[in-house]
Amino acid sequence: MMTMDVRDTRVYPVMIVTAVVVGLAVQYVLNTRRGIRRNVAGVMTLACAFFSVAGGILLTLITSGGKLFGLSSLGGLVGMYAAAGVVALITKQPYYGVILAQNCTFVLPLMYGISKLGCFGAGCCRGMGYHGFGAVTYLTEAGECTVLPVQLLEALSFFALFALGMVLYHKKFRRAAHLVFFMSMLVKFALDFLRGSHTGVILSQTQVFCLVLMAADAVWMLWNSRRKPAAFPMEKL
């Protein structure tokens, strides 16, 4: 059993910044490798940084009725896709939006996994009460609690999804982004049952959002399957 003192939470902002920097750096590389001009890729990086943070804060304010201030992972996800759309409109190149959105999908599991390491170190988003193998005891201002380290399970799961996405990307699997997105939402939905905040709740707001996004992705993928394949390959426009 591991014991962690989380009365000093400086690790959390460090890991959040690390997640953003690493994720956007990987996205920039993917964008340029797929034929997007460097200046457009750079604008996309700046847009994602702004929209993901803004989306994360805005969704937290909306779902809490303005009572909480923080970063929602799903809000950050929506913000990333909004950035892709905005860049596509600015450049007047619709296919840029497709490539940028796909690359957002590939890097989001990496960013989320790193951020969950920050949550683990800070003791937030912790799991349900648990005293078995791998349990973690957090020392807080209010005392101590022993829980399941669900943040680590999330981090490992999403690192695996990022690796899967990169393998499919290099194999030029056409539905790679759809598969990674659907699997990410499914894993997020499943692991949310293990959170301490889920006690006494049938479905959390996060799980409802995940179900809606999975349904939307399934419909979009079905609709795309009926269309003629896009003219541009995975690596180059």
Three-class SS state of 175: coil
pLDDT attached to residue 174: 82
pLDDT attached to residue 237: 34
The mean pLDDT of 130-135, rounded to a whole number, is: 89
Residue 88 exposed, middle or buried by CB count within 10 Å (0-12, 13-18, 19+): buried
pLDDT attached to residue 154: 96
pLDDT digits (tens, 9 = 90+) for 50-78: 998 888 888 888 877 877 777 788 888 88
Please say whether the beta carbons of 146 and 209 come within 8 A: no
- Between CA 121 and CA 237 the distance in angstroms is 41
Residue 170 CA: distances (Å) to CA of 17, 84, 163, 232, 234? 27, 22, 11, 15, 9
Question: Does the pLDDT value for residue 235 go beyond 70?
Answer: no
Please say whether the beta carbons of 79 and 51 come within 8 A: yes
More confident residue, 77 or 235: 77
pLDDT digits (tens, 9 = 90+) for 190-208: 999 999 888 888 999 889 9
Residue 186 confidence class, pLDDT cut points 50, 70, 90: very high
Three-class SS state of 18: helix
Residue with tokens 């910044």: 17
pLDDT attached to residue 30: 93
pLDDT attached to residue 139: 86
Question: Does the pLDDT value for residue 231 go beyond 70?
Answer: no
Question: Does the pLDDT value for residue 11 go beyond 90?
Answer: no
φ, ψ dihedrals at 172, nearest 5°: 60, 35
pLDDT attached to residue 167: 95
- Between CA 76 and CA 56 the distance in angstroms is 4
pLDDT attached to residue 227: 60
List Cβ neighbours of 116 (8 Å cut-off, separation of 6 or more): 125, 151, 152, 154, 155, 158
- Between CA 96 and CA 67 the distance in angstroms is 37
Please say whether the beta carbons of 39 and 87 come within 8 A: no
pLDDT attached to residue 226: 67
The mean pLDDT of 106-129, rounded to a whole number, is: 91
pLDDT attached to residue 234: 46
pLDDT digits (tens, 9 = 90+) for 204-218: 988 999 999 999 988
The mean pLDDT of 155-163, rounded to a whole number, is: 97
Residue with tokens 């990169």: 166
| 172 Rama sector, left if φ>0, alpha if ψ -120 to 50, beta otherwise | left
Question: Does the pLDDT value for residue 8 go beyond 80?
Answer: no
The mean pLDDT of 173-181, rounded to a whole number, is: 90
Question: pTM of the entire structure?
Answer: 0.86
Question: Does the pLDDT value for residue 45 go beyond 80?
Answer: yes
